[in-house]
Amino acid sequence: MNEKRTDRISSIVQKAISDIVQYKVKSDKIGFVTITAAKVTRDLSYCYVYVSILNDPNHEKFEALNKIKGFIRTELGHEVALRKVPEIVFKIDESIDNYRHIEQLLNESKKKD
């Protein structure tokens, strides 16, 4: 499948899942979730959704999000006109933690100088 098309679908799916989590999920266990990226496979069978969750050191909120991914997939099917709704795989976005670590290292090196 065309890479442009999968990128476009990924963007649409990211926006739709973000809206579903924000407006349609009624669980207090999830809290504040940010959908940072979504990547649909070329055959549209899977969608890897990268999330950032505040104050979740034990990944309890992440596990709660994984438990309702069937509901999210159903709602995604209603929101997005695709012949086949991809299976959702949530992944924790580590880029923010990496950014903070690099920033901390840079600040420490400035203090040494």
Its domain, for residue 26, covers 3-112
In angstroms, the CA 97 to CA 100 distance is 5
Give residue 27's pLDDT.
82
Provide the percentage of residues in the chain whose pLDDT is more than 90.
Answer: 60
Q: Which of 51, 49, 17 is nearest to 33 (CA)?
A: 51
Domain CATH number, residue 88: 3.30.300.20
87: tokens are 């299976």
Give residue 1's pLDDT.
64
- Cα-Cα-Cα-Cα dihedral sign, residues 33, 91, 55, 101: negative
Number of separate domains in the chain = 1
Pairing of β 46-53 and β 87-92: parallel
The segments of the chain whose pLDDT lies below 50 read none
Give residue 109's pLDDT.
78
